Structure formats: structure tokens, C-alpha cells
Structure 1
Amino acid sequence: MIFSFTPLLSYGSTVLSIRRKKSSQGFSIDICGTMLVASILRMFYYINDPFEVTLLRQCFVMVFIQVILLRVALKYRNLIRLFDYHYIRPFHYWQWRQPISFWKFLIGFVTFLSLVQIAFNGNEYLGITFGSMSFMIESSLPLPQILLFQRLKHVENFKVILLLSWLGGDFTKISYLFYGTDNVGLIFIIAAFFQMSLNFVITYQFFYY
């Protein structure tokens, strides 16, 4: 039960910090985008291939806190430095200037997945497709931070407490998958180890730079 609500603690503190400082500078809204897309995909994965209900509950909690975090981050963001100019995405995906664009995308994304679910309901490959996309997206969460460190050649303003929380979350997740439940697919375990390996890369960069 506690495992399901861990996102409230880890991301809730970020919400409070942004509101207190009235600035989201230093926080990447890519985190919100990554976790929202991954969690929504995982919900559709559950429809086709039910897994441990604790993990499903965590998806709902994650969506809830990420919606709040995105709203707060957009409210207090610095429009002058809206995104990293070294990395401009096609169609400025998740780099839009108008907050409404983010909410339109999320609504459209859920609508699109719903239509796909209706059209291909019962297809044996639909669940694994949703699941694979979900875990691939979530496990890539540390990549932007890795690339940023690599370009800047320093870790200034990166807090050690954040690094410890990421690593602690990895070990907690893997421990739960191995010892806390019997109904978990191999894809969960592979994604968890991949994400942990990326966090080890960040750990190496943290001490190297």
C-alpha cells in the first residue's frame, strides 16, 4: 500500500518547493511529460494484461501528482528560458509556450489510446505494445539529465538528495518486484534494471565532474 503512494512524497515536495519559491527554474517539465505518458500507457496495458493492483494504483497516484506538478511548474516557469536551445524538438513537442497546449495534448493522447483500444480490443499484441512503450519511456527518464551533465561538464545545482532519492527508488522498486509480489511481468523487471543503470551513470557523472 505504501509503495503506491511514494510519488506523492517524492514529487509533492517539488510542488511545495516551486510554490514557495514561485519559480520552476531548474525543474524540467519533461519529467511530467515522461511520467504522464508512461503512466497512461500503463493503465491501458492493465486493461489488456492485468498486473499487480498495487502497481496500477501507483499509476493513478502518479498521474494525479504529475498533473498538479505540471500545472504549478507551468504557472511559475520562466518564459525567457522556456527550453534548452541545444535541443529543439520536432513541432516543439512539450516545449510549447501556451499552457493549454500541454492539456490539449494529454486529452488528445488519452482519446487516441481509447480509440486504439476500442479498435483492437482483444488483440494479443495490444497489451504488450502499450506495456513496452510505457516502460521504455519511463526508463529513459534519466537520459536528459545525463546528456545535460555531459554537455556542461559539471553538476552545479544538482542536489545529492535528489540523486539518493532516485537510487533509493530504484532499489525499492526492484525489491518490491522480486519480493513484494508474485504477479509481475518480466517487462517490469527489465525496465527497472535499465532505469537503475542510467541512474548509475548519473552517479558516476556526479562524482566525476
Structure 2
Amino acid sequence: MADAESDLGLHPAWSLLSWTSSFLMVFGGAVPYIPQYRHIQRSGNAEGFSTRVCLLMLLASILRLFFWFGKHFELTLLWQSIVLIFTMLALLNLCCAVQQSSRMSTSRHFFTDFDPKYFWAWSRFLDYIQFCLAFTVLCLFVTYLLIDSQLYVETLGFLAVLIEAMLGVPQLFRNFKNKSTAGMSVKMVLLWTVGDIFKTTYFITNAAPVQFWVCGTVQICIDIAIFLQVFIYGQGEHEKYI
């Protein structure tokens, strides 16, 4: 009887914990970008943020959506991808607005120019939307043809998480090239790291497909490398962003 009462007492607490962790998984991925968004908005300068991060996150999230159609993993992870897509588009929209207001050159570049030299360096937010739509339609067509192929579905999943695992690489190389992390928020890097640790733990405890926790482990390593750059290149330049 005591054991039964104990189980009944634990059940609501476990349900609350499960609901809270799912909520954090859906919206927690967007949280690290809030300080960066506010910093760009306040400073009117997007130079310290690599929009290639948005590119990788958009590609990974869109691919993950199609991976779900072939392998129905937890809905929480599906909603997480949708929230991240809107988060990345919001960041891109802000970066485009900031760059337009500070652009001195009259030259403009568009997605429909199909010029590889200016890929992901277009002049309007609309061009980024057009690219995302074109990529989505391509994925839809290929997935429709190969949805019954287990090899395709598993490869799609690994491709999605591999791209996501490389999320911090553009920022890592940008910092290394400039020998500086000026323009980045230390708070953002900390949130990135804590978020990826939580995310990977969630993947493992909820028995998510192997692709997910492999991705999370790689992301944690990259986050730690970026965090170390803060101290290698000087922590003082970040104090004003905290």
C-alpha cells in the first residue's frame, strides 16, 4: 500500500517534469539567440554575427521535418524544428534591415541572380525566403519519391543532424580568422552550451534516434571551443555585452 501511494505521489511530479522538459526542448533552442538579437537591435551592427549560422540551422531544421515523415520520432523534436525555423528567419530579417541601413554601396544582389559568388549575401530578406521555399520544394519532391527507402530516410536523418552539429563552426572560424569574439554575447555562448547539454541529455533519456544524440555530442564540443575563444582572445571585450 505504501508503495502504491508513493507511486501515485510521484506520478504528478514526473508528469510535470516531463511536460517542463518538453516545453524547454521546443522553445529552449531559440533562447540563446535572444541576447544576440537584442545586441544587434541595440547596436545596429550585425558584423559580429555570422548569418551562416542561420543557413545551417534552417537547412538542418527543414531536413529534420522531412526526416519525421520517414521516421516518426517524438513530436516535441518536430515542434522544436518549426520554432527554430521562425527564430532563424527573425534573425535574418533583423540582419538584413541593419545591413540595408548601413550599406554604402548601391550594388544589390538577389537570389534569382543565381550568382554563387553572392550566395547567402543577398540584399533583401525576401531572397532568403525564396531560397528556403526552393529548398523545401526540392526536399518535398525527393522525399516523395524515396519515402519508402529506409536507406534514404536514415541518410536524411544523419544529414540533418550533421548540418545541425556544424551550427557553431562558421562562428568558430569567424572568431579564429578575426582573432576576436567582439560582437558576440558571452551570455549567448553560455546559453548555447547549457542548452546543448540539456538537449543531448533529453535525446538520450527519451531514446531519440541515434542521429540526435550524436549531433548533440558534437555540438557540445564546438560550444566549448567557442567558449574557450572568449578567454583566448580576451574576455574584457565582452563585459559590455553581458
Relative to the length of structure 2, the TM-score reads 0.74
What per-residue deviation string (whole Å, max 9, x for no partner) do you get for residues 1-53 of structure 1?
Answer: 23211134333444344344444332222122111111000000000011111
Assess if the C-alpha contact under 8 Å between 1:142 and 1:199 holds in 2.
Answer: yes
In the TM superposition, 1:75-114 aligns within 5 A as: 75-77=97-99, 78-79=102-103, 90-114=116-140
In the TM superposition, 1:62-81 aligns within 5 A as: 62-77=84-99, 78-79=102-103
User: RMSD of aligned C-alpha atoms?
Assistant: 2.3
Alignment partner, residue 26 of structure 1: 48
Q: Percent same amino acid among aligned pairs? A: 26
Supply the distance in 1 between the matched residues of 2:96 and 2:131 (Cα, whole angstroms). 15
Amino acid at match of 2:66: F
Q: What 5-or-longer segments of structure 2 have no aligned partner? A: 1-22, 106-114, 234-242
Supply the distance in 2 between the matched residues of 1:12 and 1:34 (Cα, whole angstroms). 18
Assess if the C-alpha contact under 8 Å between 2:32 and 2:188 holds in 1.
Answer: no
How many residue pairs match? The answer is 201
Supply the distance in 2 between the matched residues of 1:12 and 1:150 (Cα, whole angstroms). 24
Alignment partner, residue 239 of structure 2: none
Q: What 5-or-longer segments of structure 1 have no aligned partner? A: 82-88
Supply the distance in 2 between the matched residues of 1:156 and 1:14 (Cα, whole angstroms). 12
Alignment partner, residue 116 of structure 1: 142
Supply the distance in 2 between the matched residues of 1:191 and 1:164 (Cα, whole angstroms). 18
SS at match of 1:46: helix
Assess if the C-alpha contact under 8 Å between 2:166 and 2:219 holds in 1.
Answer: yes
Supply the distance in 2 between the matched residues of 1:165 and 1:174 (Cα, whole angstroms). 14
Supply the distance in 1 between the matched residues of 2:229 and 2:45 (Cα, whole angstroms). 27
Supply the distance in 2 between the matched residues of 1:17 and 1:151 (Cα, whole angstroms). 22
Alignment partner, residue 86 of structure 1: none
Amino acid at match of 1:159: S
Alignment partner, residue 70 of structure 2: 48
What per-residue deviation string (whole Å, max 9, x for no partner) do you get for residues 56-99 of structure 1?
Answer: 11011111222222112211124359xxxxxxx94432122343
Assess if the C-alpha contact under 8 Å between 2:26 and 2:80 holds in 1.
Answer: yes
Supply the distance in 1 between the matched residues of 2:181 and 2:37 (Cα, whole angstroms). 22
Task: Say which of 203, 220, 228 aligns to 1:204.
Answer: 228
Supply the distance in 1 between the matched residues of 2:68 and 2:30 (Cα, whole angstroms). 22
Amino acid at match of 2:47: Q
Most deviating of 23-32 and 165-174: 23-32
1:185 paired with 2:197, answer: no
Supply the distance in 1 between the matched residues of 2:227 and 2:34 (Cα, whole angstroms). 23
1:126 paired with 2:166, answer: no
Assess if the C-alpha contact under 8 Å between 2:61 and 2:84 holds in 1.
Answer: yes
Supply the distance in 2 between the matched residues of 1:202 and 1:9 (Cα, whole angstroms). 18
Supply the distance in 1 between the matched residues of 2:222 and 2:64 (Cα, whole angstroms). 21
